Structure 1
Amino acid sequence: MKTRLPLILLLNAAGLALFLSWYLPVNHGFWFPLDSAIFHFFNQGLVENRAYLWLVALTNNRAFDACSLVAMGCLMLSFWLPADRDGRRRVLMIGLTMLLIAVVLNQLAQLLMPVQRTSPSLFFKNIYRVSDLLNFPTKDASKDSFPGDHGMMLLIFAAIMLRYFGKRSFAIALVIVVVFAFPRVMIGAHWFTDIAVGSLSAVLIGLPWFLLTPLSDKIILLFDRYLPGNNKI
């Protein structure tokens, strides 16, 4: 992969414009009414439908987070199983590279984005919280919800799939993003813009410098060279 600087700068500009469209306007401009409408729509449903209440509670339990890892793992496993020994090792190295990139970008986003924001379940008054309606362990609030780290990890996974495994795997990964990131919005632990602005803008600004340059390939090669099991050393 050669460095695709024009595309990198275009994606960076899009990410910066997206973030500033939310950050600069008073009360976040048009984003806040959208955030509020989405939160209240899902929040009202908590007392209107018992099955929906349990669905939201279950999909925000810590065990459901593990299901997201299983879903991502199964998609990568579909490439690992038919591969030969070298191919299987490469899939593993790509997975490790993805985790490293996710940790680095998440830490940078938390450090560099000048935002301290509580979740809508803590911001609004006279609303419903799942933890008050059910005696069930679930995450329905956050004291620092921006950017959505869970959503960021899922978006990075989707981009990695596009870069190394093609468009079909990318489409499947996008489904995984929606299924496992949106429950946080439904329960009120995240604003919609924590993901649509915070996670996405961080990925648009940071990730191209890994995937549209030789950097991610070099990281894969380093893992391959120094981790046990490489008989070529």
Structure 2
Amino acid sequence: MKTRLSLILLLNAAGLALFLSWYLPVNHGIWFGLDAAIFHFFNHQLVESNAFLWLVAITNNRAFDGCSLLAMGGLMLWFWLKEDKTGRRRILIIGLVMLLTAVIINQLAQAFYPVKRASPTLFFDHIHRVSELLDFIPTKDASKDSFPGDHGMMLLIFSAIMFRYFGRAAGFISLIIFVVFAFPRVMIGAHWFTDIAVGSLSAVLIGLPWFLLTPLSDKLISLFDHYLPNKNKQLLNK
């Protein structure tokens, strides 16, 4: 992969513009109205529909986070099973690079975004909380610092890397995984819609192109491949 500087700068500019469109206006401008409308719509449904209440409670239980890992791992496993030993090793290394990339971008976003805000369940008064309506099911329905959405950021990074190394179909399936596992946080009120649509997305648009649209990610894969133990190479050297 050659460095595609013009595309990198374009994506960076889009990410910065997205963030500033939310950050600069007083009270976040039209974004706040959208955030509030989405929160109150779902919050009202918690007491209108018992089925919806249970759905939101289950999808925001910590065990459901494990399901997102299983979904991501299952998609990579589908490609892994079709490969020979060399290809399988490469897929495992791509997974390691993906994790490293996600940690770096998340830490940089948390450090440099000049924002700290509580989730809508802690911002609005006289609202419904799943932890009170179904107190016997442990759920995450609040956060003292919800911006940017780190869970959504990880899923977006996964989607982009799957698209980069496994093709469009894998990228499309990854986006479905992103929607299924990121937006329950919005439905329960633990995140604002813009925590993901602005926070997670802008961080990915600014940070990830420097990994995927330059030789950096390929070099990291080669570096891991060189230094990580390889039983086949060890056997050949004996």
Say which SS state the counterpart of residue 30 (structure 1) adopts. Answer: helix
Match of 2:164 in 1: 163
Give deviations 1:180-225, integer Å, cap 9, x for gaps: 0000000000000000000000000000000000000011111111
Pairwise mapping of residues 148-227 of structure 1 onto structure 2 (< 5 A)? 148-227=149-228
Match of 1:133 in 2: 133
Match of 2:19 in 1: 19
Distance (Å, rounded) in 2 between the aligned partners of 1:224 and 1:232 = 11
Give deviations 1:19-45, integer Å, cap 9, x for gaps: 000000000011000000000000000
Distance (Å, rounded) in 1 between the aligned partners of 2:225 and 2:18 = 36
Match of 1:99 in 2: 99
Match of 1:42 in 2: 42
1:109 Cα deviation from its structure 2 partner: 0.2
- Read off the aligned partner of 1:57 and give its amino acid letter: A
Pairwise mapping of residues 55-66 of structure 1 onto structure 2 (< 5 A)? 55-66=55-66
Runs of 4+ aligned structure 1 residues displaced above 2 Å come to 230-233
Distance (Å, rounded) in 2 between the aligned partners of 1:172 and 1:93 = 21
1:227 Cα deviation from its structure 2 partner: 1.1
Count of matched residue pairs: 233
2:148 counterpart of 1:144: no
- TM-score after normalising by structure 2: 0.97
Distance (Å, rounded) in 2 between the aligned partners of 1:62 and 1:225 = 36
RMSD (Å), alpha carbons: 0.8
- Read off the aligned partner of 1:37 and give its amino acid letter: A
Distance (Å, rounded) in 1 between the aligned partners of 2:192 and 2:55 = 19
1:144 Cα deviation from its structure 2 partner: 0.3
Give deviations 1:100-121, integer Å, cap 9, x for gaps: 0000000000000000010000
Give deviations 1:131-174, integer Å, cap 9, x for gaps: 11012100000000000000000000000001000000000000
Distance (Å, rounded) in 2 between the aligned partners of 1:146 and 1:2 = 33
- Read off the aligned partner of 1:226 and give its amino acid letter: Y
- Answer yes or no: is the 8 Å Cα contact 1:224–1:230 preserved in 2: no
1:231 Cα deviation from its structure 2 partner: 3.9
Distance (Å, rounded) in 1 between the aligned partners of 2:173 and 2:157 = 13
Gaps of 5+ in 2: none
Distance (Å, rounded) in 1 between the aligned partners of 2:159 and 2:34 = 25
Distance (Å, rounded) in 2 between the aligned partners of 1:138 and 1:103 = 24
- Read off the aligned partner of 2:176 and give its amino acid letter: V
Gaps of 5+ in 1: none
